[in-house]
Structure 1
Amino acid sequence: MPSSETQSIRMESEIACSLVSKERSGLTQAELSENAARELQEIRKLLWGPNIRVDVFRRWSQGFEFSDTEPSALVQKEGGPCAVIAPVQANLLKILIMDTPGHFLKDLTQDKCRHLLIQALCAILSKCCAKRFRIVSLPMEQCTEAKEVVNAASDIPDVKLSTETLEEATTEPVDASAATTVRVADAREVSSDAYHEGLQVLNFDTIEEVEKYYTEHWQVLSGQYGVMLFLYSVLLTKNIDNVISELSDTSEPLIHNTYGYGSQALINLMLTGRAVAHVWDNDQDVGGLKLRGINEQSDIGFITLMEQMRYCTVGSFYKNPKNPVWVMGSETHLTVLFSTEKRLVSPETPSELARRVFKSYDPEGNNFIPADVLQDVLAALDLVNEPEYVEIMQKRLDPEGLHIILLNAFMDEFFPQEQRSTPDTFDLMHYNGIPGSNEGNKVGYCKGSAILLESDLKSVCISNPMLTCLQTKWPNIEINWHDMRIPSLN
């Protein structure tokens, strides 16, 4: 296997693929190059479908870029790539909060934020690694020149970037200082075909080598196609066959071919390393069809407004992650919720476990279950569940014979000394990467003070989707945002 120094030389020489030796692989260089090209074409089809819309590809063509006002907050320039940016931001915040506590968010240096970003990317890649890490890149000048020329053009008065010519590819540089109108194609924002033709694959045995590569080649991440290059690296590292085997349906692309947003399978891949299409716990059998869900407690959580709309059911593995960081989903966008309060992810108390199990038999969120499933609930909680005992308890918990068991009655009977692991009050922070969704068009973090009320009754407020989404995780939450402006989920 080539040393890291040899790999670096090959990278700088813009070799198409960093290859394992012929003795170890049994394949010639031409065969390995052909395999990489085939895999990249399969990834292209899986991501985009048979055709790539010009406007969708353009919206995804951005690098990882930090906010001018919040050093650790990533900027999302247009709608679409939040399926990558939000999970990356969530992992970055997890590392910052849980692994390197004590930092003041506003005091982070540029070098520290870059290091955190690279660590976040490596964390995602590590979850997806099948055999080795396979990093997709472009020749170095293609990573940098597009961004530099576009930035230069944006400083010129009356410069217009036309998307109509986006499909034109050119290799001729533009003299931005002499231009009054700069075409996107001239600024090296190339067509999707030209982008894919230029891709190269680099192989690494360890995540430390990947981290070193990204550190020494920052422009791969910050350049015009940094977000897409990382996405392709995730899929190639995961192995395209593994991705396909986890998807329940490959007829629809992972990126919507009209609106450009990422599918739930893509979001799950970025958060858990598995490209499953559903957000419930474990696999479910629906009419004989096995539908895959989240198979273990996630490092990063996920909650969504779509659950309140009854479009999905988010399981405990996502709602109760290992770290107090959640990606939040709306109808069109992904944002991030986080907290420094570690007790938000403390182990469940027996009463909290009982509530969760009870509610798993109450998918509509009515706070009651049919009386005939009481035995199943008791069995799931390892409580006495012999038929004679269950019959006595049904009569006791349902004295009016309504054939339902209320949550409060159940808890009062079996867990009268109910305790919470979650504090009654705590602070939450929210991130939205789109400038226009932030105060003053500046991407930053919004802070709020939350309180969990005594009652389980919740008030659904259609005009406050943020609160509605939070209530899918904490049904009795109320929150006051410090700047008096409710953060946007879109």
Structure 2
Amino acid sequence: MSAAGSSSSTIPNLLSDIVRVCWGTNVKEDIFARWTQGFQFSADEPTALVQYEGGPCAVLAPVQAFMLKYIVQNIDPSTDKWRQIEPRDQDQLLVYATAQILTQAAQADKNFTMMHIVFFETELAPDDLSFDQFHSQLKVIHRQTSMDVQDFWYKRIALLRNRFGVLLFLYSVLYTKTLEILRLEVSDITEPLIDREFGYGSQSLINLMITGRAVNYVFNHVQDIDGLQLKGINEQSVIGFLTLLEHLRYCEVGSYLKNPMKPIWVLGSETHLTVLFSFEKSLAWFESNADRARQMFKMFDPDGNNFIASDHLQQLLANLDLVSDSKYVDIMRKKLDPDELGIILLSAFMDEFFDDPENHPPDTFDIFHYNGLARSNHERKVMYRMAHSVLLESNINCLLETNPMLTCLQTKWPSIEINWTHGVTPSLN
């Protein structure tokens, strides 16, 4: 395969470093084999990707989410035409999604870098390549824009569709991200992005695919734990993330992932990733000034008490680019803390400085769920499963281990009640 009109090169040292960050050392051939699959669509759901073995959902689910982003924002859901597309349209959808993720990785932190595509010398690679044989045949090509990336992949769609497509795309994202930035974002660069023992993608890898940043945590901003700076999500994400692990108190998902710009969420169980989406666009919104103020307030209120020490008021105002000179702060401190208790309530602060209306989701809406593993689907058919959802007036949290789907969604909508079509609750695993 030629790469006419642009430079291509094999860079063994840098590429081997990328591979080491991804896999670590002493890679198990069976783990590698589970990741050697292309982007293939379901025979029963033409816009849904199929996952054959456990592991690559860390790439497949985010790519599926970005394909759904295009569908949700561009296609009328009143008919089922969005579920009936031709192979050519599948290719365009796949190329769009992968280019979006690659561009996002290049643009993270507002410092645009060159985009890189890792590819094979020949499009049709043998199916029986070992780990070392596969990596000895890789090359890298450079692209400037998202349209250039889409043009390259669309003309060589077999690179993504054939057996090693998922890995070629994964390496393209990591190469574009650069080792330098990966070392800054990943807490422990010596821990591989793909688990050595089980082959699951790390949270850093999931975050990279969803947001463009390979940080380890899913809370907002940075948290200081005994002097250790733990990096989370730094801005509202286009695609969201919810996880059952939050209910189990293993993590805290911040509003930047819970409230994405599009009504699409990657869902995490203990071992697998699936996708939830809706055509109800009011479920998602761009964060307002009031939303940002609440998040900034929370940085001074890490325990979630809904108040801060009045001594923090000046810095809070400064962080929000509001008037923060000492005389004005003294006046506001007395107004917001008239009883001189030494605290300022969130409600009082918001009433004083922000009058943006609250974002309220609709009381009822339809949702769809995607799980790429055939064995986890009803009748082993990879298809979207639809449900009608209702937000009740009071929170009724489901604590039943037999309904992890509901428990996961209640981390965002505590009062949600879900009625799945045909009465079959889809699996998170």
TM range (shorter): 0.7 to 0.9
**Percent identity at matched positions?**
45
Contact 1:461 1:467 in 2 (8 A): no
How many angstroms does 1:429 deviate by?
0.6
Provide the residue aligned with 1:140 in structure 2.
122
Distance in 2 between residues matched to 1:64 and 1:266, nearest whole Å: 18
Q: Which residue of 2 aligns with 1:369?
A: 305
Aligned partners of 2:261 and 2:286 also within 8 Å? no
**Which of 188, 192, 197 is the aligned partner of 2:131?**
192
TM-superposed CA distance for 1:315, in Å, is: 0.8
What is the CA-CA distance between 1:74 and the residue it aligns to?
0.1
Paired with 1:346 and 1:11, the residues of 2 have a C-alpha distance of 41
Match of 1:429 in 2: 368
Deviations 1:312-357 (A, max 9, x none): 1111111111100000111000000100000101356899889878
Structure 1 residue 11 corresponds to structure 2 residue 8: no
Quickly say closer, same or farther: Cα 1:353–1:230, change in 2 above 3 A: closer
Number of aligned residue pairs: give it: 411
- The amino acid across from 2:98 in the alignment is L
Indicate yes or no: 2:65 matched with 1:118.
Answer: no
Q: Report the equivalent of 1:128.
A: 105
1:235 maps to which residue? Answer: 174
Q: How does 1:448-459 map to 2 (within 5 A)?
A: 448-459=387-398
Q: Tell me how far 1:233 sits from its aligned partner.
A: 0.7
Q: 1:220 to 1:58 in 2, by over 3 A?
A: same
Q: Which residue of 2 aligns with 1:279?
A: 218
| Structure 1 residue 241: Cα displacement | 1.7
Aligned to 2:18: 43
Q: Decide whether aligned partners of structure 1 residues 123 and 195 sit closer, same or farther in structure 2, where only a CA change above 3 A counts.
A: same
Which aligned pairs between 1:47-86 and structure 2 lie closer than 5 A?
A: 47-86=22-61
Aligned CA distance change for structure 1 residues 298 and 60 (closer, same or farther; 3 Å)? same
Distance 1:460 1:485, change over 3 A: same
2:65 paired residue number: 90
- Secondary structure of 1:369's match? coil
What is the distance in 2 between the residues matched to 1:450 and 1:351?
27
Q: 1:67 to 1:374 in 2, by over 3 A?
A: farther
Q: Tell me if structure 2 keeps the 8 A contact 1:425–1:450.
A: yes
Q: Return the TM-score normalized by structure 2.
A: 0.85
Q: Say which SS state the counterpart of residue 49 (structure 2) adopts.
A: coil
The letter for the 1-side match of 2:333 is E
Counterpart of 2:114, as a letter, is R
Change (3 A) 1:48 1:84: same
d(CA) in 1 for partners of 2:103 and 2:293? 34
Q: Is the 8 A contact 1:349 1:419 kept in 2?
A: no
* Equivalent position of 1:214 in the other structure: 153
SS in 2 for 1:140: coil
CA distances 1:246-289 after superposition (whole Å, capped 9, x unpaired):
11111210000010000011111111111111111111222112
- How far apart are 1:97 and its partner, in Å? 0.7
Structure 2 vs 1, CA of residues 359 and 306 (structure 1 numbering), >3 Å: closer, same or farther? Answer: farther
Distance (Å, rounded) in 2 between the aligned partners of 1:457 and 1:278: 28
Contact 2:301-2:308 within 8 A present in 1 as well: no
Cα displacement (A) at 1:58: 0.5
Letter in 2 for 1:139: E
1:68-95 per-residue CA deviation (whole Å, 9 max, x = no partner) reads: 0000000000000000000000000001
What amino acid maps onto 1:201 in structure 2? V
* Residue 308 (structure 1) aligns with: 247
Which residue of the other structure, out of 418, 421, 424, is the alignment partner of 1:479? 418
Cα distance, 1:113 vs structure 2: 1.8
SS in 1 for 2:206: helix
SS in structure 2 opposite 1:11?
coil
Deviates further, 197-206 or 111-120: 197-206
CA distance in 1 between partners of 2:212 and 2:336 (Å) = 44
Unmatched tracts of structure 1, length 5 or more:
1-8, 21-31, 147-187, 395-402
Distance in structure 1 (CA, Å) of the matches to 2:288 and 2:175:
41
Gap change, CA 1:11 and 1:352, over 3 Å in 2: closer
Secondary structure of 1:200's partner?
strand
In 1, distance between residues paired with 2:104 and 2:228?
27
Q: CA deviation at 1:201?
A: 1.4
Are residues 371 and 135 of structure 1, via their aligned partners in 2, closer, same or farther at CA, if it must alter by over 3 Å?
closer
Separation in 1, partners of 2:147, 2:179: 23
Q: Tell me if the contact between 2:123 and 2:156 (Cα under 8 Å) persists in the aligned partners.
A: no
**Contact 1:71 1:105 (8 Å CA) reproduced:** no
The whole-number CA distance in structure 2 between the counterparts of 1:351 and 1:477 is 25
Other structure's SS at 1:137 match: strand
Unmatched runs of 5 consecutive residues or more in structure 2: 107-111, 323-328
Q: Does 1:202 align with 2:138?
A: no
RMSD: 3.5
Tell me if structure 2 keeps the 8 A contact 1:428–1:447: yes
- What is the SS of the residue equivalent to 1:426? strand
Does residue 330 of structure 2 align to residue 386 of structure 1?
no
Q: Give the alignment partner of residue 261 of structure 1, picking from 200, 224, 242.
A: 200
Shift of residue 358, structure 1, vs aligned partner: 8.7
C-alpha contact 1:375 1:390 (8 A) present in aligned 2: no
